[in-house]
Amino acid sequence: MTLYIKVGSITNAQRSQRSLRQKGYKSIIKKLENPSPQDGCGYMVVVNTYTEEPISILIKEGIQIRGVERK
């Protein structure tokens, strides 16, 4: 499963990536093509995982999650 975690700004995306890396998750930062106003600047972190743990990690780090898509 792949998690597409919308975090809004590039700063939050970089913070997310750093936090996930410290917990052993590899992630990439992507920019949404047509972000809605709720998506902020339109950045997301993409993580390949079989658990919901990356979401919990980001919440514990105080990073605002604007949405999650699972594919």
What is residue 22's predicted lDDT score, i.e. its pLDDT? 98
Per-state percent for the chain, helix, strand, coil, to nearest 5: 35, 30, 35
What is residue 35's predicted lDDT score, i.e. its pLDDT? 93
Q: Which domains does the chain have, with CATH numbers?
A: 2-70 (3.30.70)
Residue 41, SS3 per DSSP: coil
pTM: 0.94
How do residues 20-68 score in pLDDT, each as one tens digit?
Answer: 999 999 999 999 999 999 999 999 999 999 999 999 999 999 999 999 9
Using the 8-state DSSP alphabet, how is residue 24 labeled? T
